[in-house]
Structure 1
């Protein structure tokens, strides 16, 4: 007799007759929404860039010389997010020297938690006003943030340092003054 597993991820009910990777279904429950250091990214992240092109991490990483990718979740109204993005912008050359490429992920929610209906326009305007040129993804329904990365509105900004092979190297909550130093140390394997 087959076991049927019900899993809720990002508000989507998934019905499984077998775990996706052939292991115990309880392990899958732990993995969804709780990306941890050493764990690989999901094969498909199901999100798009600002031009509405599908984003495939493995394909993107293969085209870049970087050894690590900092995936940084932000909201346009979030002051700590803006501060973190400006830190990344100011130290962009240093990060690149150490093999780190920055990818921003706009989480289109308003301060009160309601979805931002004009997310693409609002994000583009924010990037233009702040002169930010990082490759930016749009997490239109917050499925990526909530469902795969476990990022909630009150935990922004949150960044994940991902190795080129797709494994999580480090997770950063709300950048401090030594944020860039921490990224570089992890990218160099010093911590």
Structure 2
């Protein structure tokens, strides 16, 4: 489990009003924010399944590790959180994230060392390609945000029905199976009926 780092209370002048006081993000909250990302959930599932196949679930596990002190990026303070695939004798680094201490901002790195917001990171690096070849989607009908929106998965194909407009069958390569009853398409969650 990631270490928890206690932050000292910010110094507030005597004349400061309560509305000027803000909560800093703790290291544990930073880890929770990263753990909630759909890519992390899918990567964790993939590593866990891989461990069951390769090592009977013993030696490979997904790990989120937070650095003990905040780091500065472009004048802002962030918790640096690493997603790792932990083996018995070494760790394999998958991705690093920077979680802002002061707001909801999360940055990710790309292979060139640039800091990207999550939407840009998703578009430029396609983080799900790491596991897409091995994770099979569960067949069935999944409901979207609206009652008229649904997604059908049938083997190696899928199609959308958005407000009555049925799209043609296509490859489900951009879909992520989060758990037995949820799929994420990069924009929204789909829940199995």
Which structure's relative contact order is higher, taking Cα pairs within 8 Å and 6+ residues apart? Answer: 1
Larger Rg: 2
More strand by share: 2
Q: Tell me, yes or no, whether TM beats 0.5.
A: no
Shorter-chain TM range is: under 0.3
TM-score normalised over the length of structure 1: 0.25
